[in-house]
Structure formats: C-alpha cells, structure tokens
Amino acid sequence: MIPEFLIEQLNNQYGQELTKQILEGYNKKRNTTLRVNTTKTTKENIKTILDEQNIKYEDVSWYEDALILEEEKNLRELDIYKNGEIYMQSLSSMIPPIVLEPKREKILDMAASPGGKTTEIYNLSNKEALITAVEKNPIRADRLKYNLNKQGTTATVLLSDASKLDEFFRFDKILLDAPCSGSGTLSIQDNSLNHFNKNLIKNSVETQKKLLDKALQILKQNSTMVYSTCSILYEENEAQLEQLIKQNKIEIIPINEELFKNIPTLPTKIPGTICVLPNELYEGFFVAKIKKI
C-alpha cells in the first residue's frame, strides 16, 4: 500500500491529476534497460548478439549507448554481461552523467556505489576523466571496486564518508547523486514501499545538506556540479538548492531541455532543472546542474 502521507504530500506538491499519474507509475512494471559499455565494445556488436539471442530491443532517442528491451530476459547468463560489455541501469540514472559533460578533468563521484554512473562518466569522457569515487560502506565499496574492474573503468576508490572529505581536496566537477528517500523509485512490484516512511525523508534531507555543503567546499570556484536524487519530493530537491541560491553560493545552469525532450517530466520550482515522471520506462528522478559562485 502507498502511504497516505505520501499521497497527501504529492497532491499538495503536484495536484491531483499529476499525482494520479505518479501513482499509476508506481503500479507499473518497468522495462529492462541497459547501457552499452563503450570502453569494451560497440553498440553494433551488442545489437548483433541480442539479435542472435532473439532478444528484441529499442533505441533511446536521447542517448546513443542505451537500449530498452521489449521483454524481460535473463541477460546475466550471456557473456556480454559476464564480461562487463553491458551494464544494467535505469534510464533515469543515465541522465546525471550526461548533464555533467565529463572531459579530461578531475571528477568526484560523491556517492558512487554500485558504480553505474562512475563507469558512465568514464565512457562519456572517452576514458580520459580522472575520477575519484567515494563510498563509506565497506561492503558497497567492494561492490563498487568489483564493478569498476569488470567494466574496465579506471578510478580511485575512497572508503570514506563523502561529507567528511578533507577540505584540501579540489575538483573540476562533482557528481552528487545523493542518498534519498527513493520516492521516485517506489513500486508495488517489490518491497520498496515497506521501508518508506517520514523518518527516511527527514534523514535523507539532513544527509543531502551535509553532502552539498562539502561538495561546494571542495569544488573549484566557478566550476560545475550535478545534484541528483531518485526522489520527486520538493524538500529533497529544489528546497535544498533554494537555500544555497539565497545564500549566493550557487547559480543554476539550465539543462538543455531539447536533449531530453522525449522524457516524461514533472514541473519543478526551479527553472532549468528536471524532474522525471515515474512510468513503465523511467524512475522518478531529479537532476540539477549547478555552478559554484
């Protein structure tokens, strides 16, 4: 069951019609989606193998390396999965690294495990980004290292609480895909609703604020970062940034809407940011590009 407090919160934020669409999204089973690991192979090679396995797929208009499978298949049995030539990843979570526009520069992935976005950053930079990936949980850090190795991604992994990183660090760009309540990924198809409560939201907001403060401390002046969450709730998204805007610490760099024009979105209170509507293809996701003033 979807908690009543969440339905009320969504109604207050988005209105009844959009809330109805969000709740319908929670009820839908999401398609399997993947990203081609261009460090190891090409999209043409992956398509050839999928054709041989009689696995039907669709391209994604806004991302050359992504594919949507028309039906659920156990790709984990195929060599292309075992060898790290593909990465099982939701479409929404592929957006932040694209918005980051990584190049040959020092990049911090502040909450990196399990490594999907880290490996995507590496691919998008043509294997030139100098990446530091942070994870504070030892088990999750081991998983991160495993995935980076499997995908052929070169990165430095720090076992640390990202909110307590040494203030003498300096980065050209930062991706903060912050821990959140997961309000955009809720589904009646799994047990995610069992763990969703008000305390989860409250604790997430506190963690996000600490991570944002640290990110702005170690991001170079006039440099950019991407802040994202898999939440669709105002207090975890725009509210976090509005405080920093008022304090004249950041300005918003508008995301190119044309690039993502085929993605279903929800209205946001900050122009130039994106909030993805959850449905059968997409998880609910918030993405903002920020410049440190």
- In the set 95, 111, 230, 244, the catalytic residue is 230
| Burial class, 159, CB count within 10 angstroms (exposed 0-12 / middle 13-18 / buried 19+) | middle
Dihedral through CA 92, CA 94, CA 95, CA 96, nearest 10?
Answer: 120
Cα distance between residue 240 and residue 234, in whole Å: 8
**Is residue 68 within 8 Å of 58, Cβ to Cβ?**
yes
Helix/strand/coil (H, E, C) string of the chain?
CCCHHHHHHHHHHHCHHHHHHHHHHHHCCCCCEEEECCCCCCHHHHHHHHHHCCCCEEEECCEEEEEEECCCCCHHHCHHHHCCCEEECCCHHHHHHHHHCCCCCEEEECCCCCCHHHHHHHHHCCCCCEEEEEECCHHHHHHHHHHHHHHCCCEEEEECCHHHCCCCCCEEEEEEECCCCCCCCCCCCCCHHHHCCHHHHHHHHHHHHHHHHHHHHHEEEEEEEEEEECCCCHHHCHHHHHHHHHCCCEEEECCCCCCCCCCCEECCCCCCCEEECCCCCCCCEEEEEEEEC
275 counts as catalytic: no
Distance CA 116, CA 102 (A): 15
Catalytic residues: 230
